[in-house]
């Protein structure tokens, strides 16, 4: 199991034990983290699972693929550490990952 931390826009922290191979988005939905809508169910087709990867974790998480980058154009308040959480797969390398939830989606 890999530990993930979601920080909601109001500062509330959600610590989650995530299974390797699942996506960060799936774990946010399961834990009821407010602000993650994931309307397309993880198909990289809605941009409502937008998160900001904690700066410290950005190198480990890596850059978005071209398709994700195109979808990010539809997200609200995109920043250099923006990612679509359905496109981040949980692995041991991400143990302790922290992501921040934007003020709103879309």
Q: Does 8 bind ligand FES (CB under 6 A)?
A: no
How crowded is residue 90: how many other Cβ atoms within 10 Å of its Cβ? Answer: 22
Shortest Cβ 50–ligand FES spacing (Å):
8
Q: Which residue has the tokens 């979808």?
A: 71
C-alpha distances (whole Å) from 18 to each of 10, 55, 61, 68, 92 are 23, 20, 15, 22, 10
Site for ligand FES in 55-84 (CB under 6 A): 71, 84
Distance from C-alpha of 24 to C-alpha of 10, rounded to nearest angstrom:
19
Q: Shortest gap between Cβ of 47 and ligand FES (angstroms)?
A: 5
CB of 48 to ligand FES, least distance (A): 6
Q: If phi over 0 gives left and psi between -120 and 50 gives alpha, with beta otherwise, what is residue 105?
A: beta
Residues 21-50 that bind ligand FES (CB under 6 A): 25, 38-40, 42-49
Our CB check for ligand FES shows the closer of 4 and 11 to be 4
Interaction between residue 88 and ligand FES (CB under 6 A): no
């Amino acid at each position: 199991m890999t530990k993930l931390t979601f920080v909601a826009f109001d500062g509330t922290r959600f610590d989650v034990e995530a299974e390797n191979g699942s996506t960060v988005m799936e774990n946010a939905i399961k834990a009821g983290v407010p602000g993650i809508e994931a309307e397309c169910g993880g198909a990289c087709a809605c941009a409502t699972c937008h998160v900001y990867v904690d700066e410290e974790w950005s190198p480990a998480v890596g850059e978005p693929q071209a398709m994700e980058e195109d979808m990010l154009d539809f997200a609200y308040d995109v920043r250099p550490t923006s990612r679509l959480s359905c496109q981040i797969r949980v692995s041991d390398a991400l143990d302790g990952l922290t992501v921040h939830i934007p003020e709103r989606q879309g």
